[in-house]
Amino acid sequence: MSVLQVTGLTKAYRRSIGQLVAKEARSGVFNINFSIAKGEVYGLLGLEGAGKTTLIRAILGFVRPNKGKVTFLGKKHYRILNTLLKHAGYMPQTYSFYEDFSGWQFLKFMASGRKVDPVYRKELTKALGLDADLLRSRVWEYSPVTQQKLVMVSAMQHKPAFLALDEPTCQMNMPERQAVYRLIDTYTAGGGAVLLTSESTAEVETICSRIALLDGGRIIAEETPESLRRKAIYNFAIHMDPAPDSSFFAETGASGPQAAGSSLHFQAAGDISRILARLQEAGRLKALDLERAPLQDTVSRFYKKEELHA
Amino acid sequence: MHRLLYAWLKEQWLILPILGFLLILLNVAMYIAWHLLGGTEGILGSLLQDGIEMVQVFGGQGVGPENLGASYLAVGWRHPIVVAMLAGYAASRGSKAVAREIEEERSEFLFSLPYPRFFILLAHFLTTALGVAVLSALLVYSSIYFSGTFGLEIAVSSYKATGYITFALYMAVASIAYFFSSFLRQGGWALNLTLVLVLALYAGDFGANLGFWENSSYTLFVNYRVAESLGGLSTLGPEALGFLGVAGLFLAASMAITTIRNI
C-alpha cells in the first residue's frame, strides 16, 4: 500500500491584476497523479514557478484543490480536519519564527499535538550539528543554514510516516547537504516516505528513487535517477590541436559548436566517457572545462512541452 | 495545545504590563488632579470640572457633579487614551491571528500543526480574551481604589458590572479584527479597517450625544451608559450580552473563513 496517493489533483489560480477572473487558469498545478510507497523518496524537479510548492501545499491542504483526491495511508485526506498533518512532517521553503523563540522553544512549539521521543530528537539535532548551547539561543540569531537545519528537525522530530520537504537544502553547502541526505536515508530505511522538491538535478539524482519533472504545473515526465542521468547535458569547453571536425559532431551527437578564441564550446548529452574517448582520438586535448548544463536545457531538449500539454 | 497558548501569551509579555500600567496611571493622574490640587479648586481641578461638564453633554442625564463617582468613571472610560489603548490592543491582537501570520511567513508552521484551523484561531482568541480581561480588571480595580478619594461610596457590584461590559465591548472590537484578519493577507489592513470602524462608531455615538440623531443601544461606544448604570439609570446586562453576541458572531465567521481559505 502506498503511503501517499495523489489522483487528478488540480489547483488553478485564475485571478490576475486588472482581471478578476481570467477565462483560463494562468498558474497552478494540473491533473497531477503519483504515489509514494514506504521507504521511497519521490522528487519533484522543476524550475522556479513550475508549481512544486503549490503542489506540496495542495497536498497538505494549505490551499484548496479544484479537483482531485489525496489519499494518505489508504484513507482520504480531509483538508478541514487536517487529518494528514498528524502523521506528516513539513518543511516549507520560506518561513519566519516568533521573535523571542529559542531553538528549543521552536521545536517544542512544533511538537504541539504530536508525540515526540526526546532521544530521537536529540539524535536529529546531533546529526545536523545543532548543539544544546545553540538551541538555547534565539532563533533570529541563527544563520539561514542553521535555521534550515532547525526546521528540518522540527519536521522529523515526531517520526512522521510522511515527510514533505520543499527545497530543504537550498541554502546549504555540500557538507551540510550530505548530513541532510544521510538523515533522509536513515528515515526512509525505517519505512518513512518522502516528497522532496528541488531545482537541483544533482540533488534529486542523489537521494530520490523516482523523479517527476514538473513544468508549467504539469508532470511532463517521470524518471529514475539513472534515466535522468542518461539525459544529462554537459557544456564542453576544449582547447585541442587540431580542432575536431564535423565527423566528430555527427558521430557523438554533440551540438552547437562555437569557437571562442583558441577554445571550442559545444554541448553533448549522455555518456561523457564515450565523448572524451572520441576527443582523444581526434587530436591532442590541451585543456578541458566540463560542466553540467542547467535544468532548463534538459527540459527543452528532451521534453516537448507543447505535445505533452496537449 | 498549552504550547500554542504559551507562545501567544509570551507574545504579549511586554505590551500587557505597559497598557495595564498606563490604565492605572490614568487614575493616578485624576487622583492628583482632583485630590492633591484641591478638588474643584485650582487650574487642574477646574479642568477636571470642565471634563465633568463635558460628560454631562456627552453622557446625558444622570452624570454630573451630583453623581460624582459616575462622572469620574465616565471621564475615565471615555478618555481617548483608554479607548485608544483598549481598542488598539484588541484590534492589534485580532489582526495578528491569521493575516499577520501569513504576512510574516509563520502561517505554514502554525497551520501545519495537527489541529483543525478553527481550533487554532479559537486558541488565539482565548489569549486575547485573557489580555482584555486583565486590562478590564485593572481599569475597574484601579478605579475602585482611586474613586475613594472623591469621598463617594459606590457599590463594588456596580464597578464589577462596568468591568464586564468593558470586557464584552472590547472583545467585540477584537472579534471584528479577527474577522478582517481571517480573509486578508496583511495584518496592517485588518488593524486599520477595525480602527476605522471603531472611529466611525465612536463618531456616530458622539453625534448622538450632541443631539444630531438618536442614540442606539448597540453601537460599540456607548460608554456613557456605564456611567448611567452607576447612577441607577440603566441596566448593563442586555448591552453586555449584545456585545458578546457581536463577538461570538464575528468569531464564528472568522473560524469558518479561516477553515476554508487558502493560506
Backbone angles phi, psi at A42, to 5 degrees: -105, 120
Numbered residues of chain B with Cβ closer than 8 Å to any chain A Cβ: 1, 3-4, 7, 10-11, 13, 104-106, 108-109, 111-117, 259-260, 262-263
Is the predicted pLDDT of residue A299 greater than 50, yes or no?
yes
One-character DSSP codes across chain A: --SEEEEEEEEEE--BTTBSS-SS--EEEEEEEEEE-TT-EEEEE--TTSSHHHHHHHHHTSS--SEEEEEETTEE--GGGTTGGGGEEEE-SS----TT-BHHHHHHHHTTTS---HHHHHHHHHHTT--HHHHHSBGGGS-HHHHHHHHHHHHHTT--SEEEEESTTTT--HHHHHHHHHHHHHHHHTT-EEEEEES-HHHHHHH-SEEEEEETTEEEEEE-HHHHHHT-EEEEEEEEESPP-HHHHHHH--EEEEEETTEEEEEEES-HHHHHHHHHHHSEEEEEEEEEPPHHHHHHHH--HHHHH-
Contacts of B102 in chain A (CB under 8 A): none
More confident position, B228 or B205: B205
Domains of chain A: 4-228 (3.40.50.300), 233-292 (3.30.70.260)
Predicted confidence (pLDDT) per residue in B172-204, tens digit? 999 999 999 999 988 899 999 998 988 887 777
Indicate yes or no: CB of B113 within 8 angstroms of CB of A113.
yes
B8 → chain A, closest CA residue: A98
Give the best-scoring range by mean pLDDT among A13-27, A87-101, A185-199, A258-272. A185-199
Give the best-scoring range by mean pLDDT among A66-75, A298-307, B58-67, B193-202. A66-75
Q: Structural domain boundaries of chain B?
A: 2-260
Predicted confidence (pLDDT) per residue in A110-136, tens digit? 998 889 999 999 999 999 999 999 999
d(CA B100, nearest CA chain A) in Å: 12
Predicted confidence (pLDDT) per residue in B15-72, tens digit? 888 888 887 777 777 666 666 655 555 555 555 555 555 545 444 444 445 555 555 5
Is the predicted pLDDT of residue A309 greater than 50, yes or no?
no
- Return the pLDDT at B166: 82
d(CA B122, nearest CA chain A) in Å: 15
Q: What are the C-alpha distances in Å from A171 to residues A167, A198, A293, B167?
A: 9, 12, 20, 47
A101 touches chain B (CB under 8 A): yes
Is the predicted pLDDT of residue A92 greater than 90, yes or no?
yes
- Return the pLDDT at A252: 82
- Return the pLDDT at B182: 93
- Return the pLDDT at A272: 83
- Return the pLDDT at B137: 86
**Share above pLDDT 70 across residues of chain A, in percent, rounded to a whole number:** 92
Predicted confidence (pLDDT) per residue in B81-137, tens digit? 677 788 889 999 998 888 988 998 889 999 999 888 999 999 999 999 999 999 888
- Return the pLDDT at A107: 95
Contacts of B7 in chain A (CB under 8 A): 98, 101, 105, 109
Is the predicted pLDDT of residue B232 greater than 60, yes or no?
no
ipTM: 0.80
A161 touches chain B (CB under 8 A): no
Is the predicted pLDDT of residue A262 greater than 70, yes or no?
yes
- Return the pLDDT at A274: 84
Give the best-scoring range by mean pLDDT among A251-265, B18-32, B201-215, B231-245. A251-265
pLDDT band of residue A139 (cuts 50, 70, 90) is very high
Given a contact cutoff of 8 angstroms between Cβ atoms, the answer to whether B144 and B216 are in contact is no
Q: Report the residue of B8, B104, B113 to disrupt the A interface, i.e. the one with the largest count of A CBs within 10 Å.
A: B113
Positive or negative, the Cα torsion across B75, B80, B83, B89?
negative
d(CA A136, nearest CA chain B) in Å: 16
C-alpha span between A158 and B239 (Å, rounded): 48
A85 touches chain B (CB under 8 A): yes
- Return the pLDDT at B176: 94
Is the predicted pLDDT of residue B160 greater than 70, yes or no?
yes
More confident position, A156 or B15: A156
- Return the pLDDT at B68: 57
Of the candidates B13, B104, B109, which has its C-beta nearest A110's C-beta?
B109
Of the candidates A82, A97, A100, which has its C-beta nearest B114's C-beta?
A82
Give the best-scoring range by mean pLDDT among A47-51, A136-140, B194-198. A136-140
- Return the pLDDT at A177: 94
Of the candidates B1, B4, B113, which has its C-beta nearest A85's C-beta?
B113
Of the candidates B4, B259, B263, which has its C-beta nearest A112's C-beta?
B4
B2 → chain A, closest CA residue: A112
Mean pLDDT of the A149-161 span:
95
Give the best-scoring range by mean pLDDT among A224-228, B79-83, B166-170, B252-256. B252-256
Of the candidates B3, B111, B262, which has its C-beta nearest A109's C-beta?
B3
A100 touches chain B (CB under 8 A): yes
Residue A238: how many other CB atoms lie within 10 Å = 21
Mean pLDDT of the B2-11 span:
77
Q: Edge-to-edge strands of the sheet including A210-215?
A: A88-91, A162-166, A193-198, A41-45, A210-215, A218-223
Could you tell me the three cell numbers for B224? 456613557
d(CA A246, nearest CA chain B) in Å: 55
- Return the pLDDT at B231: 55
Contacts of A111 in chain B (CB under 8 A): 3
